[in-house]
Each structure stands twice: as structure tokens, then as C-alpha cells.
A and B are shown apart, each in its own frame.
Chain A
Amino acid sequence: MSNDPFGFDELAGGTAPKVDTGPDLSRFAPKAKTIDVEKAAAAKAAGEAHGFHSRSPRQPREPAPPARPEPPKAKGKRLVIGRRRRGEGGDIGQLSLTGDPEVLKEFVRRATFERATYVGFLGQMLELWEREHGKLPDDFEI
């Protein structure tokens, strides 16, 4: 960094004692910059695609989004999966499935993306579906 901003020392043949005045900041003078909104948005989207969490732990939570519509009402034959917790008498979880693929998809969606309590029963649920209603729908993906 320059200790001789005016060149006086150089004129004098470099005889002046060197004084450390710190880095020269003249190149970095304050100047309003304009954010490239498109690039910023792309980078932000990259974060979302990367699964980065979007809320720091201390930030107040946003209001809850409106509740999702309930899955379609079951029609026709019902298939029930129940479980009992060891040492307790009552059912703690029960699923009802029909032959309607949309109902099945909604259950699976909730289990996988919202980590519903019955997520541990997913495999059993799909086996029962196949046993009762045949092959899973073609476009069915987990």
C-alpha cells in the first residue's frame, strides 16, 4: 500500500522516513451499488433447491398456512390398518383406505412430506392396498 500518495518522497529520491499509514482505501470509496435482482433471486432459489433451511431458529414463526383440504371422502370398501401400543389398551393410530388412488396418494404425501405419525406403516399400507385393490397406480411415486 502507498505511503507516498502525492509522490513527494519519490521526488526527493525516497529519503523520507517510511510511515505506516495503513492500507490505501481510495479505491474502495463508498459508492451505491445496485443488486442484480435476477442473480440474487437465482441464488436464493438455489438455496431452496438445496434444501437449506429458510428460517433461523430464533426468528418468530410466520402464521400457519391455511389448512390443506381434507382428502376425498372414502367411498366403497374401506381398508383399515390399526395398531396397538404394547402395554396400552387403546388404538393410537388408524388409517382408512379405499380403492381410490387419490386417497392413497394423499396419505402417502402426508406421511412422507409432513411426517405424519403413520409414516412407519407406509410399507404395510402399500402392501395392503396391492392385496386388496391390485397393482399400485402407474403414476404412483414415493
Chain B
Amino acid sequence: MTAFFRLLARNRLALAGGIVLSLVVLLALVTPLLPLADPDVTDTSNRFRPALSDGALLGTDHLGRDLLSRLLWGTRLSLAVGIAAALIAATIGAAIGIIAGFYGGRIDNVIMRGVDMLMAFPYILLALAIVAALGPGLLNALIAVAAVNVPFFARNIRGITVGIANTEFVQAARLAGLSNPRIILSEILPNVVPVIVIAMSTTIGWMILETAGLSFLGLGSQPPQADLGSMLGEARSALITHPHTSVVPGLMILVIVMAINLLGDGVRDALDPRLKSGALSRPMATTRVDRQSIPDHGEKSGDSLLNVRALETQFHVRGRVYRAVGGVDLHVEPGECLGIIGESGSGKSVTALSIMGLVASPPGVITGGAAYLDGEDLIGAPYRRLRDMRGRRVAYIFQDPLSTLHPLYRVGDQLIEAIRAHRPISRTEGRVRAIELLDAVRIPNPEQRISDYPHEMSGGMRQRVGIAMALANDPDIIIADEPTTALDVTVQAQVLSILDDLRRSRGLAIVFITHDFGVVAQLCDRVAVMYAGRIVEEGPMRAILSAPRHPYTARLMACVPELGGGKRRLEAIPGLPPVVDALPEGCAFADRCDRTRPDCRAGDIPLAPLAAQSVRCLHPVGTEQEHAS
């Protein structure tokens, strides 16, 4: 609760709204005690006196009544009526909502049908009908406004109640034999009250406006008594000759409603946990780059297609820094398939997305490194250049094609768009090409499937569309980010064989990201193993498969069951990967490793060549030290 108020107070606008509102309410409360002229005494010889004249700070109205006094008394009345209407609407609405939600079944059905009927009216028609029946008057206007808002509360509270009525503590109370009214009073009501209060705080400004509106129309408060709305309504006839009589009550309504809205927004923001984490931030078109220096090409200069150097990507969330990628070097040769393997959270996807600036930013920031594509650094390239390269030279395939394809466009249109993003061809040409692409990924009946929506396809078919989209502009490299993880095993095998064929027939380079060694073994020439944002082992596929050197690689391979491999212990790796905002000194795997020695935690460990591969480990598997120990 204190945290809530602290959050609310930090919101300066909400604070301002709260202060203004408190002042207005305070003024309204002390109005009877102030030395004001009688608001209803007319003095026609002194009509329409301007503001700041003697004895009338805000001037007088068309009957010579003191405007300041009328304003304060009117504010008092408007606030009282608005709050009363909100209270009545909330009480009746909540009662209806609780009954409907708690009893459910036919009672719920009948009540909610009625509520829907009432909501089918534009609100003012209902209010006008009620006022027409009861006759004009402030009390009747209050009843009308309250009645019109009952359905809103009933519907909201019903939803909450249905949720609570199905919880265990209510079930337990039922089993304990408590009567329904007692359950409602002791279990449901205390949980619903906060929701009612919040709903009221957001609608009270609205109720004040509505009652003021009815009074403005002459259907609310009747002379001589006046609320803010009827003051404005009476002043209307003198609007052109004496505008100040209109401005005074109008501004007051504006101030009150605005203060309530500011406060209400603050309350809502303070209660919405997503805003606290900054998760509602919109990702920019490219990842923010903030690097001190640019690494050179290194020893691999020139001949690599893609050469990633000392890449560092971080997530900055509310003052904490998560080092998702902490200095990664990679290179990919033309036509080669490089596997990047690691557990979830190891930084493999972030590495891949950093290359084309696709890491969500905020919160992502690339803080160091370079990614040379044919010698041109992509990190920090201007947006125009990066957009031109995306999909044309480097294309991506993502994990879950249901969420990565646009749900409201036909797959054909999404394919055509991918082509037309880079080449000015007509839609008919695009269609021909899109059918060719679907055919290339072995989708049967491409002429028909082209007009399917993603939700009309199976998972395997959708992922083929994802691959076809990546192929649309004959890229040099395809980065496949766990493309088969969401698919079942037979479909997985088909998708892998499509990728393998394409690679061989088109000379594509593929970066294949996965957590599954079995998949890597089918497809890749070379493999890089990532752990906690860094590469811990890298080398030719066969070499690593036959003799993994890093203890983590060995453990990861032991997790994969092998068909016909005989009886063997399937080993899970104990513990969890370290959280990347608090990486330990030295080897990040030390806490989970059974070969850890004191020097493992002493300092940074370099990636050192060992046999056919490179290993970031002081005591690799299969070295003499093992025999000595």
C-alpha cells in the first residue's frame, strides 16, 4: 500500500491533480463558513458587473447575484451530486454484479441480458427518458445519471466476482456449509471493494460532467438553486455580451474534471505492474548502439562472409544491467552452416538478432563489437543501410511461426511484401514468384495455399512459409533462430531436410540456433557452444561430437538420448545458468561443474585452441590433468 502511494506521488501530474482536487473539495466543504454574499439574492440594478469590481470578486450574473458565491455553492452542489450518483451507481451495480457472478447460471444469464440491453442505448437517451418520466429536477437528474451508469459497474464487478467465486477459499467456505449471503459478505465483498473504489475513481469525473450536462440542458437543478451546469446554461443567453458569466463556471468544471482524470490516470498507472517494469516500451526500428570502440576485422579479415567481433549486447531494465552477450566472436564462410547451441538464456538468440539490429530496444543496447558482412560493419550502420540489407543479404527464420507471421495478412501477401521491400516488381510478378517460393519449400498446391491466412495452416506449413519468406530475396545468409523447436519431430525432420537441400542447391550460408545437439549434428559443419553470453567451445562439428572439450559441452551432449545407443545414463545438468546481471568472477559454469578448481574462479579465461577446436576452460575434458586428478 505504501509502495502504491509512493508510486502515485512520483507521478508529478497525478500529484498535481490530487492537490488541485483536494483544494476544490476543501473549498466546497468550507463554503458555508466563508463570508460570502447570499448566492440566490437578486439585485437587478447591479447585473453583469465585471470581475474584480467592488464587493464582487468575480462580478455578478444576469440577475445581479454574486458570481463567486454562486460558483462556490454550485461547485459544492455539483461535487455532491456527482459523488452521490457515483456511490449509488457503484452500490447498485456492484450488488447486481455480485449476485450475477456468484450465483451464475440462469440468474446470471437473465441479469446480464438486461445489462446488455441497457448498454445498447447511447447513454444520454436513457437518461433523457428517465428525466422525461420523472420530470426535470436535480434529484431526478441524479437518479438518471446513476441509473445509466449501473450497467457499467454491474458488468465489471460481475467479471471479478466470477473469478473469485471459483477460487479455493470460496469453495472451502461452501463446503464448510456457510450460507450464500454469508459467503458474499465475508469472502466476496472484501475482495471486490478495492475494484469498486478504483472503478469509481475513474468514473466520478464523468458523472460530474453528466449531471452538469443535464443541468445545462435545463433538466437538472431548477432556479434559483444552481449547480455548475445550470450556471453555464443560464449564462448562455448572455454569452456574447457578458462572456465572463459563462467562463467562470465552465473553467471550474474543466479544472475539477481534469484534476480527477489526472489522479485517476495516476492511480491506474500505479496499479498496472507492466508499467513499472517498462515492458510497455515500444521497440525501436533498430537496436540502440552505444559502443566505445570498434574492433577491427581480426585475423579473419576479408575472407569471411560474416565476421562478428567481440559483440556485447546488454539489456538495461530499471537501473539493472543484464549482459546477455558478453564478447562473442563468430565467423561464417560462404555456403557454410554454423550451429550455435546453448540453453535458453545463454545469449544465442540475442547474438543473432544483434547482427541486424533486431534486438528489442529499449531495453536492448549493443555496447560493443562489430559485425562485418563482406567487410562492412553492420553494428551502428544507419537505419537506411540496415533496412536495405535486412532480408536481402541477411534473412531470418524465427521460432514460432504462428506469432511471427502477421495474423491478418494472407501468407501470399506477406511473401510478396518481402520481395517488394527490395525490388520494384508488380503484384502479378510478385504472385508468380511467391508461388515459386512456396513450391521451393515443398508446400503442396501453392496456388491455393497462397491465399491462406497463417491460422489456417499447420505448424509445419507455417514454418515452411517462414523459410520461403527468408528465401524471397536470395540472401547470402539465413539466420534460423530455433526454427524447429515449436514443431513435432517428424515435421522437424522435414523442415531440416528442406533447409539442408536449399543450402546445397543455392550455396546459402546458414547460422542455425538451437538447444538440441541432435539437430545440429544433422545439419551443421561447425558449431559454437554458448554459455552465459559467451562462447565456451567452438570447432568442427565432427571434432566436437567425438571429443567435446568443455565440461559444459560434454554435459549438454549427455542430455541427448541416442537411438540404439544402448543403455546409458541420461544426465541433466544440475543447477541453473547464472543470472546475467550478476555474473561470477572467472568461469560462469564453475558452480555447476564437477571439475572446478580454485583457479577457475580466479579471473577471465580466454578461448584457447585445443586440438581441432577452441575451448574456454582451464581444465578441459580429456587432458592429462584429468588423469592426474
> Are the chains A and B members of one assembly?
no
